[in-house]
Copies of this chain bind each other. A is one copy, B any other.
Amino acid sequence: MAYIPSLQLVPRALNGDLRAIARLLTRAETGTGESRAALDEMFRRAGRAHIVGITGVPGSGKSTLVAKLAATLRTTGRRIAIVAIDPSSPFSGGSILGDRIRMGDLAGDPGVYVRSMATRGAMGGLASGTLEAVDVLDAAGYDVVIIETVGVGQDEVDVARAAHTTVVVSAPGLGDDIQAIKAGILEIADVHVVSKCDKPDANRTIADLKGMLALGLSMAPPPAPGRERWVAPVVATASLRDEGIGELAAAIDRHHRFLDTSGEIDARRKAINERRMLKACEEILRREFERHQNAKVSGLLQQIDARSLSPHAAAGKLLAQMHIEMHSGDNG
């Protein structure tokens, strides 16, 4: 296949051409310079979709839940896209699970688009690439874009917080370490799910979660004057029995309406934009760092190696050097 310049793919993707969409998603994933203008254009054309982040600890059954949820949302006629982020090797940069076979029920439905994404490798970039992929699907006309992430690690939390509605999935009986991790992401949830509620210890998990949430709510400051508070509901699901999926879809839609009617959507959008801009800054920085590897970095590294300069002090010097060049490069 000949390489099609990214900008040529834009009008096709906007028309819903699946192959053009797939190619732009790949380019968002790899983050090549040539695709920059096209991805920027897709961002400008986006903004209509409801972005739903679904995150949860490993073993919480997110993928099955996402497939069932998508099927349920489909019954209202909405077109659904799913971006599933796979943990990927820092070396191979490849996606481990590949495109999802477990999405079986949805196969062949042209109103559902499923895409697994790898991260951009050891140097990071998960957040930017994923959110640019969401832009592509949003601009291409999908009504709901679901981002599925493993809810651990800063990058994953960042992605989850870049959604309009964040769903955090807990599951019974996942052990101490996992509960500790979960506590870190509980606070970003707009909707809680306790999955696998056909398991015997599910009631205790639900009770524990509700207890923690009640405690958190009692300690939270009151909402600012004129602002409403959304109290995140807890939905119990059992995906394999199709239980609770309708309730989850309803809770997600209810949160979407809350954002609109309360005006909270503006604050949410602002927070998302801030975070995206910061992430993009970091990515530009990392690329600059790689470019400067041979020229200036090595001298600083030698000083670090001799312990005459700390990594932090070296970073300050490097940034000061990079800035002039980037600035003159941008304007000169």
Contact = CB atoms under 8 A, between A and B. Distances in A.
Contact of A320 (B174, B282, B326): B326
A153 B156 CA distance: 7
Given A90-B161, A274-B301, A319-B326, 18 more contacts: A36-B312, A40-B310, A59-B177, A87-B181, A88-B184, A96-B180, A119-B154, A123-B278, A128-B311, A153-B156, A273-B304, A277-B289, A277-B304, A280-B315, A282-B282, A282-B285, A284-B312, A322-B323
Interface in A265-289: 269-270, 273-274, 276-286, 289
Contacts of A152: 58, 87, 150, 152-153
Contact of A323 (B59, B124, B308, B326): B326
Interface string A243-274: 00000000000000000000000000110011
A305 B269 contact: yes
Main secondary structure of the interface of A (DSSP, over half): helix
A276 B319 CA distance: 14
Nearest to A183: B96
A301 B131 CA distance: 16
B273 A301 contact: yes
Nearest to A60: B177
Interface residues of A, number: 93
Contacts of A276: 304, 311
22 contacts: A39-B312, A43-B312, A44-B308, A58-B178, A58-B180, A58-B181, A87-B181, A87-B183, A90-B188, A96-B180, A97-B180, A119-B154, A124-B154, A132-B312, A274-B297, A277-B300, A280-B311, A280-B314, A282-B286, A284-B315, A316-B330, A322-B323
Contact of A285 (B36, B157, B314, B319): B319
- Residue picked from A278, A286, A301, most chain B C-beta under 10 Å: A278
B58 A307 contact: no
